């Protein structure tokens, strides 16, 4: 089954089951789900979380409790600016610099409270939290189809900020865990931890993480739209 078929099925199931939460509809986005806060609670119990000082997180609604937990525990959160469209393509949310954590961790609030930095101004990332539309038990993640999350990992790897040992995690509803074969590409980042409101799955199959930007997989248009890529090339 290809990724788009999986996306459509999961979006439909989340909506039909009543598990989807605002913003509606779940289609076309990283879907918010009932129990997102409980999933975040499970993630913060993990050793990889507790040992992390710098976390990269996606900006979507279901990971809002994760971002808030990180700042409340004194961790610095990095979020990519939309579509990596600026040379300083990440926002730094440092708890020492944030007055209102609840506001700063929202999509709109982060752009005001965060400080834009380039990869060359960032420390090594200890943990990456990604949003997903679906994920398999062996760590194959399906995003919403734009490819930015995977590209962000490859970009950070180019700057020596992540490697194979960097823990990758996603928080999802149980309906989003799909036990089927899904094709993967060279940029796809495997998940090490799959966290739901009910349980944590630690992925034991060691899939390789992208070692660098795969330039041949990127269109000329995309490279030109992302200043840091254009500069690297």
Residues 6+ apart with CB under 8 A from 214: 154, 186, 187
Tens digit of each residue's pLDDT (9 = 90 or more) over 75-109: 999 999 999 999 999 999 999 999 999 999 998 88
**Long-range contacts (CB closer than 8 Å, 24 or more residues apart) made by 6-9:** 6/133, 6/134, 6/142, 6/178, 6/180, 6/182, 7/133, 7/134, 7/142, 7/144, 7/145
- Summarize the confidence of residues 69-75 as an average pLDDT: 98
Give pTM, 2 decimals: 0.95
DSSP 3-state of 195: strand
pLDDT for 208 equals 87
Which element (helix H / strand E) includes 141? strand 141-142
pLDDT on residue 185: 85
Q: How many domains would you assign to the chain?
A: 1
Give the residue-averaged pLDDT of 185-197: 94
Is it the case that residue 44 has pLDDT exceeding 90?
A: yes
Q: Which contiguous run of DSSP H or E holds residue 39?
A: helix 36-43
Q: What CATH number is given to the structural domain containing 134?
A: 3.40.50.10420
Res 205 pLDDT > 80? no
Choose among 127, 54, 132: nearest CA to 91. Answer: 54
* pLDDT beyond 90 at 186: no
CA 227 – CA 233 distance, rounded (Å): 10
Mean pLDDT within 152-181: 96
Residues 170/141, Cβ–Cβ less than 8 Å: yes
Q: What pLDDT was estimated at residue 1?
A: 75
Please tell me the distance from the alpha carbon of residue 60 to that of residue 217, in angstroms, as a whole number: 25
CB 43 within 8 A of CB 131: no
For residue 230, the model assigns a pLDDT of 87
CB burial of residue 77 (10 Å; 0-12, 13-18, 19+)? buried
For the stretch 116-127, pLDDT in tens is: 999 999 999 999
Mean pLDDT (the chain) is 95
Average pLDDT for residues 143-153, to the nearest whole number? Answer: 92
Q: How confident is the model at residue 195 (pLDDT cuts 50, 70, 90)?
A: very high
**For position 201, what pLDDT does the model report?**
97
Instruction: Please count the other Cβ atoms lying within 10 Å of the Cβ belonging to residue 92.
Output: 20
Dump pLDDT digits (tens) for 16-33. Answer: 999 999 999 999 999 999
For residues 125 and 78, give the distance between their C-alpha atoms in angstroms, rounded to a whole number. 9
pLDDT of 206 > 90? The answer is: no
CA distance 63 to 161: 22
pLDDT at 204 over 90: no
Strand order in the sheet with 115-117: 115-117, 90-93, 76-80, 54-57, 127-130, 167-171, 193-195, 200-202
For 174, the domain range is: 3-232
pLDDT of residue 132: 98
**pLDDT beyond 90 at 207:** no
Has residue 65 got a pLDDT over 90? yes
């Amino acid at each position: 089954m290809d990724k788009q078929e999986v996306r459509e099925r999961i979006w439909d199931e989340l909506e039909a089951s009543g598990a989807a939460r605002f913003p509606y509809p779940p289609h076309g986005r990283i879907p918010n789900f009932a129990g997102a806060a409980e999933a975040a609670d499970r993630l913060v119990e993990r050793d990889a979380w507790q040992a992390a000082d710098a976390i990269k997180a996606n900006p979507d609604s279901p990971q809002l409790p994760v971002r808030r937990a990180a700042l409340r525990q004194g961790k610095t959160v990095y979020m990519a600016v939309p579509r990596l469209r600026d040379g300083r393509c990440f926002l730094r949310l440092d708890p020492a610099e944030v007055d209102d954590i609840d506001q700063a961790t929202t999509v709109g609030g982060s752009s005001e409270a965060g400080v834009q930095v380039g990869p060359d101004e960032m420390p090594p990332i200890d943990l990456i939290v990604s949003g997903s539309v679906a994920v398999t038990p062996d760590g194959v993640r399906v995003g919403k189809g734009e490819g930015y999350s995977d590209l962000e990992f490859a970009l950070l790897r180019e700057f020596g900020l992540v490697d194979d040992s960097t823990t990758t995690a996603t928080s999802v509803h149980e309906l989003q865990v799909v036990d089927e074969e899904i094709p993967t590409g060279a940029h796809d980042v495997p998940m090490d931890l799959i966290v739901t409101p009910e349980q944590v799955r630690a992925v034991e199959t060691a899939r390789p993480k992208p070692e660098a930007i795969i330039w041949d997989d990127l269109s000329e248009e995309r490279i030109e739209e992302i200043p840091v890529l254009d500069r690297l090339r």
